[in-house]
Amino acid sequence: MSNVTRRNFGSAFTAALFVGTSVFALHAAQAQELKGREVVLGAIVPSSGHFAEWGRTNTVTLKMLEKQVNDAGGINGAKLKLVIYDDAARPAQATNSLRKLAGDDKVLAVAGPLTSSACEVVFPVANQLGIVSTSQASSKPGVAKANRPWAFRNTIDEGILAKTTVPYYKKAYDIKTVAVIYDAKDATAATVGTRIMPAIVKENGIQVLNENDLLSFNTGDLDVSAQVTKLKSLNPDGVVVSADYSQAVTVIREMKRQGLIKPIVGATQLISSAILKAAPEIPIVAPATFYATQKAEAAQKFVAQLQPLLRKESNLPPEIEPSMYDANIYEIVGMYIEAAKKAGITAKPEDLEKDRVKIRDYMAKLQGFQGLGGPISFNEDGDAIKAFYIVEGKNGAWETKVRGCSSASGGGCGS
């Protein structure tokens, strides 16, 4: 090595050491700076109403995460505080909750709301107030896209998922014809049932037997005998059921009662352990980004930690398992915590607006956040780029059949 090279190396080493020390010092100073403060984050979950189960498990998940973070020393020394409100899956109540979280509780960012109907009302308000709101479940196409830059969703557009779900369904069950039934009062279910599924099914060369007469029911209906009798009379190879799982259970039970044992295809809304009990002999094909029996190590660890806590809750079924939306909200708050740690927030009341902008910018540029099923980032529409799985529910268990990635290129979701 020449003297010049040695000198250059020495300078470079000194510079690197200086930069490294400065960064370390900066981080240490920042950690020191946040000590004694509180990082306050908000969440909007439906702990009452039709989706109470999801809201209640979301609450347990968030409390577990809050404890984990604070037990591990907090966020750069600051204590994490989560403020959780129940919106009963009602858009107006969700909007009030967001205003309260932003105005009264002074939170940095909000996880939720859960439903697309609530997001359609809450996201414009989040934009107006300048606070990040990230939904854990909304998957109706374009809901975050219409409300940039503050709206995000840790979910994948159902249109993208259906493009992988339907070809697998067709191949696995030799489907040539389907009939469609959907919940007309659920925003996502109605969009999937009337627009997404019929279009993608036809793209795949499958005939929709009731294309001009799609069957529907309303959220809360217990009697769907008329609809199922009509489905049966069409004699399809398979049935598209577009509904939240608790409503889909009613349809599947009626299908079984009337002897219509045909494979079902649907959207992420079908994923639950409860639906597997409705008629174990009827196969269900649907996409998921997480399910409780998933094999990934991070997912298994999450389930092992959360499941006992859920089962201790008196207002949840004793056999309950963590849902996809628990995983999603866990990841969302995890992203906010990472942003709070790395984006240089001060957590001072006078810097609240600046801190919110830092969180927003960090989320928009997020790369490789380690979620439970692999790395997560966001596309320009504010929707998650993450791995998904086409799963088949049969004889009481979900099983992964296809792994996909929601990015346009198909990459960026890890292996």
Using rule CB under 8 A, residue 317 touches another protein: yes
* Contact in structure between 332 and 290 (CB atoms under 8 Å): no
For residue 376, list its beta bridge partners: 369
Roughly how many angstroms between the first and final C-alpha of the chain, as a whole number?
42
According to CB under 8 A, which one of 233, 235, 367, 370 is a site residue for another protein?
A: 233
Considering only 70-78, 304-312, 315-323, 392-400, which stretch makes contact with another protein by CB under 8 A?
315-323
* DSSP reduced 3-state for 42: strand
Tokens of 257: 């009662």
Q: How far is the CB of 63 from another protein (least distance, A)?
A: 18
Site map (CB under 8 A) of another protein, residues 237-256, x = contact: ---------x--xx--xx-x
Q: How far is the CB of 246 from another protein (least distance, A)?
A: 6
Distance CA 355, CA 263 (A): 49
Tokens of 109: 């960012």
Q: How far is the CB of 101 from another protein (least distance, A)?
A: 23
Using rule CB under 8 A, residue 312 touches another protein: no
Distance CA 302, CA 299 (A): 5
Could you say which residues in the range 2-61 bind another protein, by CB under 8 A? 48-53
Distance CA 37, CA 31 (A): 10
Using rule CB under 8 A, residue 257 touches another protein: yes
**Nearest to 379, CA basis, from 81, 99, 155:** 155
Using rule CB under 8 A, residue 121 touches another protein: no
Considering only 150-158, 313-321, 351-359, 401-409, which stretch makes contact with another protein by CB under 8 A?
313-321
C-alpha distances in Å from residue 136, one per residue of 14, 107, 382, 404: 46, 18, 12, 19
Q: How far is the CB of 46 from another protein (least distance, A)?
A: 9
H or E element at residue 265? strand 264-265
* DSSP reduced 3-state for 371: strand
Q: How far is the CB of 220 from another protein (least distance, A)?
A: 5
- Nearest 5°: the CA angle 168, 171, 175 is 110
Site map (CB under 8 A) of another protein, residues 165-184, x = contact: -------------------x
Q: How far is the CB of 141 from another protein (least distance, A)?
A: 22
According to CB under 8 A, which one of 2, 315, 409, 415 is a site residue for another protein?
A: 315
Distance CA 397, CA 354 (A): 47
**Would you say 223 or 399 has its CB closer to another protein?**
223
Considering only 142-150, 257-265, 288-296, 400-408, which stretch makes contact with another protein by CB under 8 A?
257-265
C-alpha distances in Å from residue 109, one per residue of 9, 113, 395: 45, 12, 41
Site map (CB under 8 A) of another protein, residues 136-155, x = contact: --------------------
**Nearest to 324, CA basis, from 405, 265, 389:** 389
- Nearest 5°: the CA angle 14, 26, 335 is 120
Q: How many residues bind another protein (CB under 8 A)?
A: 40
Using rule CB under 8 A, residue 398 touches another protein: no
**Would you say 22 or 225 has its CB closer to another protein?**
225
Where does this chain bind another protein (CB under 8 A)? 48-53, 184, 213, 215-218, 220-223, 225-227, 229-230, 233, 246, 249-250, 253-254, 256-259, 272, 274, 277-279, 314-317
